[in-house]
Amino acid sequence: MSASPHATSARRALRTAPLCTALMLALCGSVHATQADAPSTRPPSTIDPANWPVPGWPLREDAALERRVEALLATMTVEEKVGQIVQADITTITPDDLRKYRLGSILAGGNSDPDNQYNAPPQAWLDLADAFWAASMDTSGGGKAIPVIFGIDAVHGQSNIVGATLFPHNVGLGATRNPALMRRIGEITAIETRVTGMEWAFAPTVAVPRDDRWGRAYEGYSESPDVVASYAGAMVEGLQGKPGARDFLGERRVMVSVKHYLGDGGTRDGKDQGDTPGDEATLRDVHAAGYFTSIRAGAQAVMASFNSIDGQKMHGRRDLMTDVLKDRMGFGGFIVGDWNGHGQVEGCTNTNCAKTFNAGLDMAMAPDSWRGLYDSTVAQAKSGEIPMSRIDDAVRRILRVKFRMGLFEAPKPSQRTLGGRFELLGAPSHRAVARQAVRESLVLLKNNGGLLPLSPKQRILVAGDGADDVGKQSGGWTLNWQGTGTTRADYPNADSIWEGFKQQIDAAGGRAELAVDGQYREKPDAAIVVFGENPYAEFQGDLPNLLYKPGDDRDLDLLRKLKADGIPVVAVFLSGRPLWMNREINAADAFVAAWLPGSEGAGIADVLLRDARGKIQHDFKGKLSFSWPRRADQYENNVGQANYDPLFAFGHGLNYKGDGTLATLPEDSGIAAAPSQPNRFFVKGKAAEGFRLRLAGATGDTYDVMHTRGATPDGGLSIAAVDRLAQEDARQLRWSGTAASTVALMATPAQDLQRQTDGDVWVIADLRIDALPAGGRIEWLAACGDSCGASVDVTSQFATLPRGEWLRVGMILKCLRSAGANDMRNVTVPFGLRAAPGLGITLSGIGLGTDPTHRLECPATAAGAP
């Protein structure tokens, strides 16, 4: 899955305005919308089911189970049947709603938590599970007692829950080459998920990422379909149990949804939710590899993917969902959608999509659209637009899973075998397995002079912004969708990387010092610098190339500074994918790819340090499951491709037995000029490439900002460069005169923000409020062409914000769409402010993100995708 809704109870004044008439004509008139990502015009790919294998469904028909399914189905009304095939998010449905609508499933999306509290205690989750279960079994108002299934994104462990064991993300697990370890990780994840009341994990991800720019690449085990296939079945068996075993789908197990079917890792340019070429052999032999072994392992659900194949969205492809997956491959579970993915099918909306059910989807994930989708689907079932045979087939598949799991006989979640056993969250034995996974995932790329392993008896400096940050080492999908904004207190059962080193160095009699910025008190014998990508998930993680933090050389400077001081330097790189790191590799004596290790940062010290007696504790075992790029423009860099020429090949990984010497690498990235950072429109007081800042006075006359000082022709709005953190890295705006004026950030060409709007993404302005109008309005603006735009009155909200302080103020994109900017594929003005005289603000940055410190409220906002 992906994101989840940002729910708010407040209702603020919201006004829709045709911004490019009168008021905004000067701002929008010269910007023409273009389809940034128009659907493919290629003919749809031809799929012949006969070309696909028959993996073998492992569950024989159970006559007794079938009789129970048919008996229940025969008593169900159309409304009850439709309820079973709709899934709602916990932020938009209540137990009372469930009593009325009898939905078959609920989910908690990436940002969906009890009471909207990302760090809600485990008991709150269990209480919520009990409440929804009780509602589903309550027949006092009529209806059948059919237990609801509660699904959640257990992406790397039960990663939504405070205190749970956090395993390395799949990119790291792929480097272990240890399918048996995957099975054990699945078992532990199932146990910790059941503790908090859920029966369904939206896992495993069996994508085969082919372009490392994709923001979800770290959710894939490998670029190799063979590695993915070897892991998929093992993880399914770990989560569900083995078909035929007594504990299969038992109370210590959860059902899975193998995802995302099909081709999510193969989109052009690595674009999330993009278009995948429809070559049938590649779809079958590469992207479907994990589904064959998952089906043989008895996977109970498969999740449809957001991507299209040759322009046709997977949620609407009967040939692949019904003809191939169900009929040819014999899949006997049910297909669930992704977050409003049905709404992206041509001719559909989030609340109306007969086409997706007719194509073979069995349960629509309609997190915030469930009520409208329920109503339209009931009408379509009654009219015959969706044949009753198709409705019945979907309901049968869902009921079979519920009967197989014993949910009809099970008590409420808190009274089940593992319900409420919170001591199992982050249990020592579970953490030991995660620590093993960390050790085995580490890949050594350089070890000049045999620097590693280090003696713990030395003076060792641990530096870098990843050294003592459990959130950063855990990455996205950790307590919330993007994995941002967490604190150390949110991880009671975890060790940061620094804590792991300190424990062992102290115990051996050495001296450990933490200095994130590298400013040591006493010159160390060696330095370990931990740095890397900040947490992200889809949308935020997509990259234009494989440069590491273009324009930000602080990590490189730190490595070089310590090296210049004569200190041997070990680089520990945290990332969700291989990136072009030649400069950083050159600046270090040893370089370790640590991926996103999760809660057990101490596993890194286990490998990098000797024991107190000077012996090697654990050697490196990790082998690259993704090829490492030679240049930053080497996007598709997969083993077996023509002209394959990586810096470090698939399967590469040094150990302590061999020579770790690496010659100096070339430092030409292959990128002529570093582009602006993705999702950043206005950086350090300047418009990014493809954007410009425009001021419009009360008369409509405009001024395009090209200098450090300027003003509208009528003098009603002025701008000047000021200092924030560096010289002239911000712009101060002052509204004066007698009428309102406008500042707008213009996009040329127009920006396609449709995906981000469907996700939990915000327009965020880094600003300081210097003064407020005495009595006039302040409006937040957006535009999408000459007659498409939105204006949201934020006057009262700005009045409550602190003055004179730097803030990250955000407006969720969904709010702007609901306010009238309804063509988010063609956004010409992603940010604007119109204000009465008297407003004074200073701007330093504008962009997209998920972590504003101050969220402007809006009616009926929601977002997301698993």
The DSSP secondary-structure symbol of 476 reads S
In the chain, the amino acid numbered 154 is: A
599: nearest Cα among 423, 472, 480: 472
Is 442:624 a contact under the CB 8 Å cutoff?
no
Out of 538, 589, 714, 752, pick the active-site residue: 538
Q: Tell me how far the alpha carbon of residue 351 is from its chain's centroid.
A: 24
The amino acid present at 356, given as its one-letter code, is: T
DSSP assignment string, 537-585: -TTTT--SSSBSSTT--HHHHHHHHHHHTT--EEEEEE-SS--B-HHHH
First and final C-alpha spacing in the chain: 1
R_g of the chain, CA atoms, integer Å = 27
Report residue 229: phi and psi, to 5°.
-65, -40
Tell me how far apart the alpha carbons of residues 656 and 624 are, in angstroms, rounded to a whole number. Answer: 16
Environment class of 321 (CB within 10 Å of its CB; exposed 0-12, middle 13-18, buried 19+): buried
Cα(836)–Cα(774) distance, integer angstroms: 9
Give the DSSP letter string of 260-286.
EETTGGG-GGG-TT-EE---HHHIIII
Please provide the size of the chain in residues: 866
What element of type H or E holds 459? strand 459-463
From 338, 440, 606, 779, the catalytic residue: 338
DSSP H stretches of helix in 648-789: 754-758
CA 133 to each of CA 80, 90, 142, 159, 416: distance values in angstroms, whole numbers, following the listed order = 16, 13, 16, 22, 12
User: Catalytic annotation on 857?
Assistant: no
- Pairing verdict, β 308-309 and 680-683: unpaired
Which of 585, 464, 591 minimizes the C-alpha distance to 518?
Answer: 464
Residue 538 among the catalytic residues: yes
The DSSP string of 69-111 is HHHHHHH--HHHHHHHTEEEETTT--HHHHHHH--SEEEE-TT
* Residues annotated catalytic, as ranges: 338, 538
